[in-house]
Structure 1
Amino acid sequence: MPRTQDFDTAEVVGRARDLFWDKGFEATSIPDLERVTGLNRSSLYNAFTSKRGLFDAAVHDYLDRVVRPRLRILTDEPTRPDAAVRYYRSLAGALASLPDETPGRGCLLLNSAAGFAAHDDTQRSVVDAYQRELSGALTHALRAHDPDASTATLAHRTRLLTSLSVSALLLSRVNRDEAVAVANTAVEQLEEWRRT
């Protein structure tokens, strides 16, 4: 008779997600995961099959609990004309609130892109899907921002704003002030497009 699970899977995944987010997949050890989850190695393997299985669950949790709620401001209907500006102001505010003495977390997915996703097809496809989701949300908001913009203009602006998002999130791991400045640059650019 199989043993019954006596822990909250969502809580374990959330704790593992935060550890992977802080340290990255490669630098996170099984003993680290045992420590933060309170589970032993065999329980982790029984529930998630491997460290990678737990990481994949953490990535899905990150998308559902962190990324998509933040993107909702860009995709809610009816979409406000200032949705993109509000998104970048919110991002700048979140980055500015990081403590001075600790590095920021950045983005779990982008952090993996700068690491093991370069040689892992599965993670590369997850990061690529995230980039498409972010770009799609920005395109949607930009249509509300400037309904008369051509498809080519929207594509150009989306690419630029996506790049600023990626830059701000990556920089937040090493230079909070510059990350905030990059997010504010997106706000300034959006306001300039609005005036022209």
Structure 2
Amino acid sequence: MGRTQEFDTVAVVQAARDVFWDRGFEATSLAHLEEATGLRRSSLYHAFESKRGLFDAAVQDYLDTVIRPRLAILAHATDGRAGLAVYFAGVQTVIATLPDDSPRRGCLLLNSAAGFAGHDDALRQVVDGYRAELTGAVSDALALSRPDADTEELAAEARLLTSLSVSALLLARVNREEAVAILDVALAQLDRW
């Protein structure tokens, strides 16, 4: 008869998520995960099968609790331009106000893309899926605000705004001021359209 799990899986996944977010997959050791979660490696392996299993659970939690609520701002906007402004201003506020020692700087997925996602097909698909989801949400908001605009023009604008968001989130870990400035450019671009 197996042992009964005596921990909150969500709390463990979110604690591990923050370690992966801060350190990246490759630089995160089992000792780091044990310290963050309060669990021994045997319990982590029993619950998640491997470090990668825990990472995959952390990525799914990140998509569900961080990414999709941000994108919901765009999906539920009745005014596309206003929704985009709220989205970009919200990302900018997070970047500008997080303490320098916060593990949540930048984007877990993009931080991973700069690391081992280049060597891991499954993670590459998750990161590209996030990019496609972000681009789609931005594109839908643009189309809502400019229903008569040319489809190709809207696609180029969505790609530009997505690129600015991605750039800011990547730079947030190393140059907060530049990340905020990039988001200022995105917000100014909205005023031009």
What's the TM-score, normalizing by structure 1? 0.94
Match of residue 132 from structure 2? 132
Whether 1:120 aligns to 2:126 is no
One-letter identity of the residue aligned with 1:144: L
Q: How far has the Cα of 1:145 moved from its partner?
A: 2.0
**1:60-99 equivalences in 2 (<5 Å):** 60-76=60-76, 78-99=78-99
Distance 2:113 2:67 in 1: 16
Match of residue 108 from structure 1? 108
Match of residue 27 from structure 1? 27
Cα deviation per residue 1:26-82 (whole Å; 9 max; x = unaligned)? Answer: 000001100110100110000000000000000000000000111111101535441
Distance 1:91 1:33 in 2: 27
Q: 1:131 to 1:26 in 2, by over 3 A?
A: same
RMSD of the alignment, in Å? 1.4
Distance 1:104 1:64 in 2: 15
The percentage of aligned residue pairs carrying the same residue is 61
Q: Which segment drifts farther, 167-176 or 72-81? A: 72-81
Distance 1:173 1:104 in 2: 9
Count of paired positions? 193
SS of residue matched to 1:60 = helix
Q: Which segment drifts farther, 168-177 or 82-91? A: 82-91
Distance 2:40 2:103 in 1: 29
One-letter identity of the residue aligned with 1:19: V
**Post-superposition, which runs of at least 4 consecutive aligned residues in structure 1 deviate over 4 A?**
100-104
Whether 1:166 aligns to 2:172 is no
- Unaligned runs of 5+ residues in structure 2 are none
> Is the 1:83–1:145 contact (alpha carbons within 8 Å) kept by the matching residues of 2?
no
Q: 1:65 to 1:116 in 2, by over 3 A?
A: same
Match of residue 187 from structure 2? 187
SS of residue matched to 2:6 = coil
Cα deviation per residue 1:105-133 (whole Å; 9 max; x = unaligned)? Answer: 21000001100000000100000100010
> Is the 1:95–1:179 contact (alpha carbons within 8 Å) kept by the matching residues of 2?
yes
Distance 1:58 1:163 in 2: 24
- Unaligned runs of 5+ residues in structure 1 are none
Distance 1:27 1:82 in 2: 39
Distance 2:102 2:50 in 1: 30
Q: How far has the Cα of 1:98 moved from its partner?
A: 2.4
Q: How far has the Cα of 1:96 moved from its partner?
A: 1.2
Q: How far has the Cα of 1:169 moved from its partner?
A: 0.1
